[in-house]
Copies of this chain bind each other. A is one copy, B any other.
Amino acid sequence: MTDPHAQGNALAVLGLLAHTELASFSRLAADAVAAPALDQRLELSRMAAMAMGRLELVDSRVTDLGSGLQAAMGPFAGALVDLDARTAPSTWTERLLNAYVGYGVVDDFCRVVAGPLDPTTRDLVDEVLADDGHAGLVVETLAGAGTRDGTLASRLALWGRRLVGESLGAVQRLLADHPALRDLLVQAQGSGGVPGDAQQRLFSTLTAEHSRRMERLGLTP
């Protein structure tokens, strides 16, 4: 890829994605320590290690594009800190919902803005994001808890709405701070639209995907 503009855009998406994986790693590792039983601690620790595996995939593509992982991640330092602070879980099931829904909205956003990138980078982004959510025990625990306990199910549904609201806020800040991401969003949705429209359509898409994840857990979106 010799177009420096396209390359800058690709590195922006990869930098954000790398940051998401590193943040997932740290969050899942902290969840693992809080786990009430060994099987959940093992599963969450393994999920954390898988996030690092995905980070290595991103790293190799960043290197192929002639940059370095730290340089690509730098502009996104702190991007998810605010989101984490606003979505700190207060119970174990909320924690599990964070682990499962995770940075799902941000991940979906990465997938959208990766659309107009070169095919190799786009495929890499899809591969990294497809690897998510092999969380059998987490899904079982949450789905089971929701079925058995109506009060818990409503509390988790409320927590899910909090998660999606804060995540959309984080995406809004990412778009405001990173012209490359705005540029890619407009490209992804076809030219001709005004930026405000593009963002509105994006938010509908991201909300719909989040609802599907909640429904898979048997929870009201």
Whether B42 lies near A32 (C-beta < 8 A) is: no
Copies of this chain, whole number: 2
Question: How would residues 47 to 81 of chain A score, 1 for a CB under 8 Å from any chain B CB and 0 otherwise?
Answer: 01100110100000000000001100110010000
Residues A106-147 near B (CB distance < 8 A): none
Which of A45, A48, A74, A77 has the most chain B CB atoms inside 10 A of its CB? A45
Question: How many of A's residues come within 8 Å of B, CB to CB?
Answer: 23
Say yes or no for A30: interface residue by CB 8 A criterion.
Answer: yes
* Given A29-B29, A29-B30, A30-B29, residue A22 in contact with residue B49 (CB < 8 A): no
Whether A46 lies near B52 (C-beta < 8 A) is: yes
A211 CA to B151 CA, complexed, in Å: 57
Whether A77 lies near B38 (C-beta < 8 A) is: yes
Which of A25, A29, A42, A48 has the most chain B CB atoms inside 10 A of its CB? A29
Residues A15-36 near B (CB distance < 8 A): 22, 25-26, 29-30, 32-33
A42 CA to B55 CA, complexed, in Å: 10
CB neighbours of A74 from chain B (8 A): 38
Whether A26 lies near B38 (C-beta < 8 A) is: no
Say yes or no for A41: interface residue by CB 8 A criterion.
Answer: yes
CB neighbours of A49 from chain B (8 A): 25, 48-49, 52-53
What are 22 A-B residue pairs whose CB atoms fall within 8 Å in the complex? A22-B41, A22-B42, A22-B45, A25-B29, A25-B32, A25-B45, A25-B48, A25-B49, A26-B32, A26-B33, A26-B45, A29-B29, A30-B30, A38-B70, A38-B73, A38-B74, A38-B77, A39-B70, A45-B52, A45-B55, A49-B49, A49-B53
